[in-house]
Structure 1
């Protein structure tokens, strides 16, 4: 399968970009405004073209026009309950910028990720407006889909809305990815991170469920904890203290009955990041990058579906 090209916007710490890379996409640019997240991208992928900019101020270079895929995870607060669901009236809503860039870049496909709240009836008219504007630019609507990360190898019940639109010749071939047959548990995911702890095996056998969605919060709200009261209660059922993060995993001297807390690398593993992905910045800033990320395995699954559709369209053209 050939490698297709992509431009990633609102790239964050690279969850979607990393997943699309695994699906065979070569990133021509990764646009992100948060300095710590940009440092994470540069530290892990020095060859990537990381552009540190507010999306509203970014004008694509001419060589990016005609890219195969425009992808991104626009800010979630305008559509989340925690963000008061102000939608288009929220200054953080960047969907208009996606439409602007779709016109400027003329990609063959778009993949935009957001919170599940965007699919609520409250935003039905806004979703229709976005689709209508993109159709006017020559794209076909492949659908808004709600995908649960737990269905794609991520040990977390993280449901995200995904919009895919493509040029008509490729849209005809697009099919949403099928869920995997088995889910991955928190215990089996995190066991390698706590292997030196004498209580690791017993804890892992207890933590056989799926975690609630990690919450990264924003600079204005939230710290380095695993979410609101309900989420922390679910973490407690898995043998994890969700009231904060640890600086290091439990070691050989840690008591068997230790109440486990996640480290930033452990939280990243729950999001589906590989162990070698290093987050830059202090603990809270690094965890915020993790908690706000789009799980790479889900991006890979959708990216492979997009790549397959493009490939079939190219084969028909040949």
Structure 2
């Protein structure tokens, strides 16, 4: 099935979509470092990047009419920077907001389905109107904003059109939901809002994938059965005290039916500690110790035996106090590039281009590959059922 990937970045969503069986006819991003990462992995023959037609440049100037044939899926993570929702602010003129370009792609390509993702912050109450605005534009992409029209007026027209029950023109059935990547086996508590839509004429009914992993199952395996510690060969004296987690586990009546959340230890168990074992760590690509980690209130690192906290990009690289590992003895250090890639479920043979801070920015902006794959597989299965 043919796809178009927008705002690809380091490729988390795009790789997941590719692993689900979609073949892109165009992959685009404006960021030079991210495109260099993709080009390097393409040259190295990394699947599925090796087949990607990569376009570096501003998506606002991309001509979708040059794509021949039908497109089954458009996907991507359009940047959507915070801005004031009050007054007569015309959000569509904000150069940082790329949702209008995602909607343009849907309007011009008329794919059978789309997948777009963004940060959970988009669902904050202060953005409620704009979130609904995005939803309605994706539902009726042909009802485009007029020249010089303010976005609030456009929202009113969309609402009128929607309540009128219009059935003509290009329409999509759109669902949105905040998903926690840890609930799907990713070793990171990372919440993203996803929009999935199917063209109305397909008649497809769809829901987001059911949660497969849980915190309670992890707590059971750690503090009730002990299977977790046995698996990792952690002696009693080397285990954390458990605290509130252990107390919660003791209140569980039955063994949870879902799989346990994956932890940082699960993700990096075979990687030598780059600070304590630098020579052994050197044999792993992008696995070098980065000094300077410091802990302060609210930024205490990710415990080894829990899913990682959300990896963050920061405006100028790694933000202070974030993206750190906290060992069971309380000591901390930054995650390496390789460890961060593991936490984002990128393939081990993928390399990243740029400095440490630049690479961590790419990783901090990415969608976990496994989460993207799971959602995209669900979309593909519905599209295949139409054939």
Structure-2-length-normalised TM-score: 0.65
**Matched residue of 1:157: which SS?**
coil
Give unpaired runs (5+ residues) of structure 2: 43-49, 85-89, 143-169, 213-257, 281-302
- Alpha-carbon distance, 1:151 to partner: 1.2
Alignment of 1:230-309 (within 5 A): 235=324, 238-239=326-327, 259-309=332-382
State how far apart, in whole Å, the 2-side matches of 1:120 and 1:15 are.
24
Alignment of 1:1-318 (within 5 A): 4-45=1-42, 46-78=50-82, 88=92, 90-136=94-140, 137=142, 138-170=170-202, 172-180=204-212, 181=258, 182-194=260-272, 207-217=304-314, 221-224=315-318, 227=319, 229=321, 235=324, 238-239=326-327, 259-314=332-387
Give unpaired runs (5+ residues) of structure 1: 81-85, 201-205, 241-255
- Alpha-carbon distance, 1:259 to partner: 4.5
State how far apart, in whole Å, the 2-side matches of 1:76 and 1:273 are.
24
- Alpha-carbon distance, 1:144 to partner: 1.1
Instruction: Give the direction of change, closer, same or farther, for the CA distance of 1:44–1:283 in structure 2 (3 Å limit).
Output: same
- Alpha-carbon distance, 1:289 to partner: 0.6
- Alpha-carbon distance, 1:116 to partner: 0.6
Q: Which residue of 1 aligns with 2:234?
A: none
In terms of Rg, which structure is larger? 2
Q: Which moved more, 1:263-272 or 1:54-63?
A: 54-63
- CA offsets, 1:221-269, max 9 Å, x none? 3333xx465x56xx56x329xxxxxxxxxxxxxxx99744321111111
Question: When the two structures are aligned, how many residues end up with a matched partner?
Answer: 277
> Is the Cα contact below 8 Å between 2:188 and 2:344 reproduced in 1?
yes
**Matched residue of 2:5: which SS?**
strand
State how far apart, in whole Å, the 2-side matches of 1:274 and 1:166 are.
29
Instruction: Give the direction of change, closer, same or farther, for the CA distance of 1:258–1:116 in structure 2 (3 Å limit).
Output: closer
- Alpha-carbon distance, 1:34 to partner: 0.5
